[in-house]
Amino acid sequence: MIDPAQPGVLLTLFSFAVVIGLVVFVHEFGHYLAGRIFGVKADVFSIGFGRELLGWTDRRGTRWKVSVLPLGGYVKFAGDMSPASQADPAWLSLPAEERKRTFQAKALWQKAIIVFAGPAINFIFAIVIFAGFFQAYGIPETPTRIEQVIEGTAAARAGLKPGDTILSIDGQNTRVFEDIARVVAIHPGERVIVRLRRDGRLYDQPIRLDSFEEVDRFGNRNRIGRLGISPGAQIITDKPLPQTIVAATVRTGQLVSVMITAIEQVVTGRRPVEELGGPIKIAQFAGQTATLGWQPLVQFMAFISINLGFINLLPVPMLDGGHLLFYAIEAVRRRPIKPKAQQWAFMSGLAVLVSLMVFVTINDLGSLGLWEKLAKLAG
């Protein structure tokens, strides 16, 4: 049943600001911290874009500020004066000691680490959150042995039986039942190969998964895959901190794998582009998750942090991955790409990102029913 108690606008906006603000801060702090380690001066550390709402300048000369548009953030290093990381002409006229503290004065490998540190700390942040929950509440693990096969489902049609143990799906190992649910969910209606153990023997069973539309308590609809099996009892295990960190790292890697699969499905047309969401959808989910308690909201924050880290590593100009791509090319060529070529690339990257932002915003508004309401008014 759909819970009609949707979060209010104020709770939604507050939850969105907390989630995005903290995740963006973590990302930019990764850049800032790596820059500090290599002796680069940061001129500005901003959460958000546009006009400054509040801020202060620390004793190192860094302006820390919160700006009016909370859709990202940036660290502006000394000597890094353009989106393509090209130095301002005035850089050459700086005193030698001051020029040493600029981004452009650093070695290529140091600049690459400074850029990579942003996405990296997003993943680390998620690992810390998952490890904290696992340490506090234990690690939920359910054996992959099938307890029940539901009649009329994909599993029943394929001949799966109680007592079978699922070892992998499409080459992805399924150590616990939660792995099965994760892999199956992102392959609705698709044919997969299930490796299972039955009576001590191994079998590779092709199965066409069912497609099921899931509706959560807030009315959000999502098409997921379904196999049609039930597991045995879940086991909660307490493990030492090192093993907890490993489990949290594995969990983070699994979510990255899900993102890669989802993008590949959208690109190949197996998943509708309407499922792509943007800031409005994130705000909606943040508000809805906040109504469930602080624990789900913190876990949602970990998921958004992984998203931010992953997206920023894509080799698109204007993103961290685009910078890293240019650094890799420079390392191979032993000379940087011409500034004009970089400027064109970053202008193209900006156009792609703006177009994507407009597209996902249209999707978000559509998911809220805006276009249907306007069509009814027009009719």
CATH (domain of 231): 2.30.42.10
Q: Is residue 357 part of a domain?
A: yes
pTM of the model as a whole:
0.82
> Residue holding tokens 């990302």?
27
Residues 98 and 196 in one domain: no
Query: Of the residues 218, 237, 256, which one is the last residue of a structural domain?
Result: 237
Tell me the pairing of strands 42-57 and 165-169.
unpaired
Q: Is residue 257 part of a domain?
A: no
Distance between start and end Cα atoms, the chain: 31
CB 228 within 8 A of CB 149: yes
Q: Which range (6-20, 93-107, 331-345) has the least confidence?
A: 93-107
Q: Is residue 3 part of a domain?
A: no
Q: Is residue 162 part of a domain?
A: yes
Coil/strand/helix, residue 56: strand
Measure the CA–CA gap between 287 and 14, rounded to whole angstroms.
Answer: 8
Query: Of the residues 204, 237, 270, which one is the last residue of a structural domain?
Result: 237
Q: Is the model more confident about 351 or about 34?
A: 34
pLDDT of 31 over the 90 cut: yes
Count structural domains, the chain: 2
Percent of the chain with pLDDT over 70: 88
The CB density around residue 152, as the number of other CB atoms within 10 Å, is 9
Residues 23 and 63 in one domain: yes
Q: Is residue 356 part of a domain?
A: yes
The phi and psi torsions of 334 (rounded to 5 degrees) equal: 65, 20
Q: What is the pLDDT of residue 2?
A: 47
Q: Is the model more confident about 215 or about 158?
A: 158
CB 91 within 8 A of CB 105: no
Residues 132 and 162 in one domain: no
Q: Is residue 262 part of a domain?
A: no
* Closest to 290 measured CA to CA, from 24, 70, 12, 21: 12
Q: Find the catalytic residue in 28, 97, 264, 275.
A: 28
Tell me the chain's radius of gyration from C-alpha atoms: 24
What's the pLDDT tens digit per position in 237-289? 888 999 999 999 999 998 898 888 888 777 777 677 666 777 888 888 888 89
Indicate the length of the chain as a whole number. 379
Residues 312 and 331 in one domain: yes
Q: What is the pLDDT of residue 149?
A: 93
Residues 88 and 206 in one domain: no
* Closest to 160 measured CA to CA, from 188, 190, 192: 192
Instruction: Please give the single-letter amino acid code of residue 205.
Output: Q
Strand partners, 57: 63
Residues 133 and 180 in one domain: no
CB 27 within 8 A of CB 21: no
Residues 18 and 131 in one domain: yes
Q: What is the pLDDT of residue 85?
A: 53
What's the pLDDT tens digit per position in 198-248? 999 999 999 999 988 877 666 677 788 899 999 888 888 888 999 999 999
pLDDT of 92 over the 70 cut: no
- Tell me how far the alpha carbon of residue 178 is from its chain's centroid: 20
pLDDT of 87 over the 60 cut: no
Cα dihedral across residues 211, 212, 213, 218: positive or negative: negative
* Closest to 302 measured CA to CA, from 76, 65, 134: 134
Q: Which range (88-102, 176-190, 298-312) has the least confidence?
A: 88-102
Residues 146 and 131 in one domain: no
Active site residue 28: yes
Domain interval for residue 321:
9-137+291-378
Residues 227 and 307 in one domain: no
Measure the CA–CA gap between 101 and 56, rounded to whole angstroms.
Answer: 21
Q: Is residue 208 part of a domain?
A: yes
Residues 170 and 217 in one domain: yes
Q: Is residue 109 part of a domain?
A: yes
Residues 208 and 296 in one domain: no
Query: Of the residues 213, 237, 261, which one is the last residue of a structural domain?
Result: 237
Phi-psi region of 221 (alpha: psi -120 to 50; beta: other; left: phi over 0): beta
Q: 354: pLDDT confidence band, cut at 50, 70 and 90?
A: confident
Burial class of residue 147 (count of CB atoms within 10 Å of its CB; 0-12, 13-18, 19+): middle
Residues 168 and 106 in one domain: no
DSSP state of 144: -
pLDDT of 196 over the 70 cut: yes
Q: What is the pLDDT of residue 81?
A: 57
Q: How confident is the model over 94-101, as a mean pLDDT?
A: 75
pLDDT of 174 over the 60 cut: yes
